[in-house]
Structure 1
Amino acid sequence: MQQLLFPNNIQFWYETLRSMSHIAYGGADFGEVVSTAERITEGDYDSWYIEWAATADRVAAEAEKALKASHKVSARDGFLRASNYYRSAEFFLHGKQCDPRHDHAYDRSVECFKTAAALYTTPRIEPVEIPYENTTLPGYLYRVDDSGTPRPTLIMHNGFDGTAEEMHFFGAVAAVERGYNVLLFDGPGMPGPRHHQGLVFRPDWENVITPVVDFTENIPEIDNNRIALLGLSMGGILAPRAAAFEHRLAAVIAVDGLYDLGQVSVRHLPGTRQEAEQLLRGETAPELDAALEQLMAKDPISRWAFNHGMYVMGVDTPRAFNASYLDYTLADGIAEKIQCPTLVCDAVEDMFFKGQPEQLYDHLTCPKTLMVFTTEEGAGAHCHPGAMRLATARIYDWLDDTLDVTATTA
C-alpha cells in the first residue's frame, strides 16, 4: 500500500496505519490520526511521543468531561480512542534502558481502557486476573450477554509489541458480535506482565496457554468443547506452539502465521544455519556485535526491533536478542503435533516475515486453511491494518464454519 504519510519512513507509516485500522471498532478517528501525524517530525521518536501523547491527553480530557456530565456513551468512546493513542505514544520508547515516559503512557492507556470497559452494557467487559505460576496475568472477559448460556469462546493475545487492550479493536468486539465470549490477556513479555511484573517472553507458550484454558473452563458461560485460540503477529508462532501441546483447543488461528523466528536472526549471517547459531550464542563475537550496532545506526526498523527485543526478552545486547529468537520455532516436528483445525493467515506485503505463513501451512498435518490477504483489498500489510472489517469477516466466517457456531447461535 502506498505510504500516504511519512513517505520516507515505513516504520512511522505502518504504525500510523495501525492506528487508522482501529477506526473500524472505535479505537481512533481519521481526523485525529491525520492531524497528529502531520505534527510529527518524520523519524523523530521524541516528536512521535509528544504529539500522540498530546492527542491522547486532549481526547481523555474531553471524555472525562463527558463522564462528569453523565454522557456515558460519549465518554466511553473518548476513553477508547485515548487508550489507543496512549498506546501509540509509548510505542518507540522501549529498550534496554527504557524511557520513563513509557510507563506513564502505558498506565494511562490501561486506565482509559478500563474506564471505557466499565461503561459498556453490551458486551459486558470484566477485567480478570488469570492464575499463572506464582503470579497472575491481566486480561479481560467479554460475555455476549447475561443469560448464562454456555457459548463458544475465543482466547486472544497480541504479539511482540501489542497490548491486550489493543485486541479490543483487533477482533474482540467483532467476535462478540458473532456470538463468541472472548478472553483477552497479556502473557509474559507482553506489556502488562513486562511493565509491572518483569516477566519476559518464553518460547514454551503451552505453559502459558494451559493455565489460561484452565481458567476459561471454570467460567460457567463457556462451552468447554469450543474454545479457540487466536494469536496476532508474534502470536502467530506462539499460538500454534501452544496448540501443539495443549489439545483442549478446538481451533487455532495465526494472524499471521510464523514458522521459525530464527530465520530472521540468521538470514544475513555467513555460513550455515548451525554456524550462524553458534556465532549468535557464542560467549564473544565482537565483529558481529559491531555489525549489529552499525545496522541499528543506519536502519530505524532494526534499531527499534533490537531495542524493544532486548526489553521484552530480558537480555542485554542486540546479539543476545537475536539469539533468543532461535528458540521460537515450530520446526523439528512441533508444527506436526497440532491436531485441531488451524487457520494460517498471510499478507502479501508482509515486511517482517514474508514466506513464513506458507512454511507453517506446509508443515501442518491437521485440518488446515491458508488465507491470503492482498494489497488490492487494502489488507496486504503485516496483520492487515486498514482492512479490519474484511479481515475479521473472513477469519470469523472460517471459525463459525469450523466450530459450527452459526447453527447454534442463530
Structure 2
Amino acid sequence: MKQLLFPNNTQFWYETLRSMSHIAYGGADFGEVVSTSERIVEGDYDSWHKEWLATADRVSAEAQKALDAGHTVSARDGFLRASNYYRSAEFFLHGNPCDPRHDHAYDRSVACFRSAAALYTPAIEPVEIPYEDTTLPGYLYRADTSGEPRPTLIMHNGFDGTAEEMHFFGALAGVERGYTVLVFDGPGQPGPRHHQGLVFRPDWENVITPVIDFAETLPEVDDSRIALLGSSMGGVLAPRAAAFEHRLAALIAVDGVYDLGQVSVRNIPGDREAAERLLRADSAPELDAAMERIMATDATARWAINHGMYVMGVDTPRAFNASYLDYTLADGIAEKIQCPTLVCDAAEDEFFKGQPEQLFDHLTCPKTLMVFTAEEGAGAHCHPGAMRLSQARIYDWLDDTLADAGA
C-alpha cells in the first residue's frame, strides 16, 4: 500500500496505518488520525509522543464529560479511541526504559479502555490470570449473560501490542459471532513488562497452560472448543505453545512466524552457525559497531532494537538479536502441533516475509494457509486497514473448524 503519510519513514507510516485500521471496531476516527499525523515531525519520536498524547488527552476529556452527563454510548466510544491514541503515544519511547512518559501513556491507555469496557453490555471484565507467583492481566468477553458454555478464543498480541489493542484485532469480532473471548498480556508484553518487570520467554507453553487452566474454570467456556490466536510475534509464540499444550481445538497464527533467528542473522556474513556464535560471543566489537550503524540509518531497525532490548530485558543490540535465536519452531517443534491450524500470510509483510510459508510447510496437522493481498488492502503485516475482511475470513475458518470439533 502506498504511504499516504510520512513518505520517508516506513515505521511511522505503518504505525499510522495501524491506528487507522482500528477505525473498523471503534478504536479511531479518520480525521483524528490524519490531523494528529499532520502535526508530527517525521522521524521525531518526541513529536510523535507529544501529538498523540495531545489527541488522546482531548478525546479522553470529552469522553469523561459525556460520561458525567450520562451519555454512556458517547463516553464508551470516546474512551475506546483515547485508549488507542495513548497506546500510540508511548510506542516509540522504549529506548529509554526510565522515561516516565511511556508509563504514563500506557497507564492512561489501560484506564481509558477499562472505562469503555465497563460500558459494554455485557461488560468486558478485567481479569487477573494466575501465573507462577503472580498474575497476568487480561479481559473476559462474554457474548451474553446466560452463562452458557460457548466456543472460546484465547488471544494475545506480539512484540509490541497490548491486550487492550486486541479489542480491535479480533476480540469484539468474536463477540459479534457468539464466542467467549479471553485476551491477556503475557511476559514481555505491556502489562507484565511495565508493572512486574516480566520479560519475554521462548517456552510460551508455560504461559498458555495456566491461561487455559484459568479458562476452564469459567462457565462461559466450552472446554472442548478452546482455540488460541497469536498476533505478530504471537505468530511464533502461539504455535510454540500449541506444540506442547494439546488441549487446544484450533490454532491461528496472524501472521505465521517460523524462526525469529532468521531476522537476527540475515545481515551477518557467513553461515547460520557462524552468525549465531558471533551473536552469543562475549565480545564482538565489529558486529556491535555494524549494528550501531544500522540503527543510525534504518528507522525501523532503530525502533525494533530499542524496543527489543526493553521487552527482552537485555542491555545491548547484539544481546537482543541473540535473544531472538531462541524463538523458533525448528528442530521438530512445529511438527508437534496436533490441532487444526490456520497460518495467515501478508503478501507484502515488511517484517517476516516468507516465514508463514515455512511454518505451513513444517506442519503435519490439518492446516490452512490464508494469504491476504495488497489488492485487498490487506497486504501489510497483520493486515492493518482490512480488519473487517481479515476477521471475517479468520472467524469463518474458526467457525467451520470448531463445528467439526464439536461434531
Looking at structure 1, the residues matched to 52 and 206 of structure 2 have their Cα atoms a distance apart, in angstroms, of 36
Q: Which residue of 2 aligns with 1:228?
A: 227
Report the residue type matching 1:57 in the other structure: D
Alignment RMSD, CA only? 1.1
Q: Which residue of 1 aligns with 2:91?
A: 91
Of 152-161 and 91-100, more deviation after overlay is shown by 91-100
- Say if 1:48 and 1:166 are closer, same or farther in 2 by CA, change over 3 A: same
Q: Report if the CA contact (8 A) 2:27-2:168 is conserved.
A: yes
* Secondary structure in structure 1 of the residue aligned to 2:224: strand
Report the residue type matching 1:366 in the other structure: C
**Alpha-carbon distance, 1:186 to partner:** 0.1
Q: Report if the CA contact (8 A) 1:16-1:33 is conserved.
A: yes
**Alpha-carbon distance, 1:406 to partner:** 12
**Alpha-carbon distance, 1:121 to partner:** 1.2
In the alignment, structure 1 segments of 5+ residues that lack a partner are none
Q: Which residue of 2 aligns with 1:31?
A: 31
Q: Which residue of 2 aligns with 1:331?
A: 330
Q: Report if the CA contact (8 A) 1:19-1:27 is conserved.
A: yes
State yes or no: 1:344 paired with 2:343.
yes
Q: Report if the CA contact (8 A) 1:400-1:406 is conserved.
A: no
Q: Which residue of 1 aligns with 2:167?
A: 168
Structure 1 runs (4+) deviating above 4 angstroms are 405-408
State yes or no: 1:202 paired with 2:201.
yes
Q: Which residue of 2 aligns with 1:310?
A: 309
Looking at structure 2, the residues matched to 96 and 159 of structure 1 have their Cα atoms a distance apart, in angstroms, of 20
Q: Report if the CA contact (8 A) 1:96-1:308 is conserved.
A: no
Q: Which residue of 1 aligns with 2:102?
A: 102
Looking at structure 1, the residues matched to 185 and 68 of structure 2 have their Cα atoms a distance apart, in angstroms, of 31
Report the residue type matching 2:45 in the other structure: Y
Looking at structure 1, the residues matched to 63 and 404 of structure 2 have their Cα atoms a distance apart, in angstroms, of 37
State yes or no: 1:184 paired with 2:183.
yes
Q: Which residue of 1 aligns with 2:268?
A: 269
Q: Report if the CA contact (8 A) 2:224-2:406 is conserved.
A: no
Looking at structure 2, the residues matched to 302 and 174 of structure 1 have their Cα atoms a distance apart, in angstroms, of 32
Report the residue type matching 2:281 in the other structure: G
**Alpha-carbon distance, 1:96 to partner:** 5.1
Residues 369-408 of structure 1: per-residue CA shift (max 9 Å, x gap): 0000000000000000000000000000000000018999
* Secondary structure in structure 2 of the residue aligned to 1:404: helix
Q: Which residue of 1 aligns with 2:382?
A: 383
Report the residue type matching 2:272 in the other structure: R
* Secondary structure in structure 1 of the residue aligned to 2:188: coil
State yes or no: 1:128 paired with 2:127.
yes
Looking at structure 2, the residues matched to 260 and 401 of structure 1 have their Cα atoms a distance apart, in angstroms, of 29
**Alpha-carbon distance, 1:135 to partner:** 0.2
Residues 174-202 of structure 1: per-residue CA shift (max 9 Å, x gap): 01111100000000000000000000000
Residues 317-360 of structure 1: per-residue CA shift (max 9 Å, x gap): 00000000000000000000000000000001000010000000
* Secondary structure in structure 2 of the residue aligned to 1:371: strand
State yes or no: 1:112 paired with 2:109.
no
Q: How does 1:138-153 map to 2 (within 5 A)?
A: 138-153=137-152
Looking at structure 2, the residues matched to 89 and 222 of structure 1 have their Cα atoms a distance apart, in angstroms, of 35
Report the residue type matching 2:65 in the other structure: K
Q: How does 1:9-28 map to 2 (within 5 A)?
A: 9-28=9-28
Looking at structure 2, the residues matched to 98 and 40 of structure 1 have their Cα atoms a distance apart, in angstroms, of 23
| Fraction of identical pairs, as percent | 84
State yes or no: 1:403 paired with 2:407.
no
Q: Which residue of 1 aligns with 2:62?
A: 62
Q: Which residue of 2 aligns with 1:74?
A: 74
* Secondary structure in structure 2 of the residue aligned to 1:6: coil
Residues 190-244 of structure 1: per-residue CA shift (max 9 Å, x gap): 0000000000000000000000000000101110000000000000000000000
* Secondary structure in structure 2 of the residue aligned to 1:223: strand
Looking at structure 2, the residues matched to 126 and 405 of structure 1 have their Cα atoms a distance apart, in angstroms, of 30
Q: Report if the CA contact (8 A) 1:256-1:382 is conserved.
A: yes
Q: Report if the CA contact (8 A) 1:175-1:181 is conserved.
A: yes
Report the residue type matching 2:235 in the other structure: G
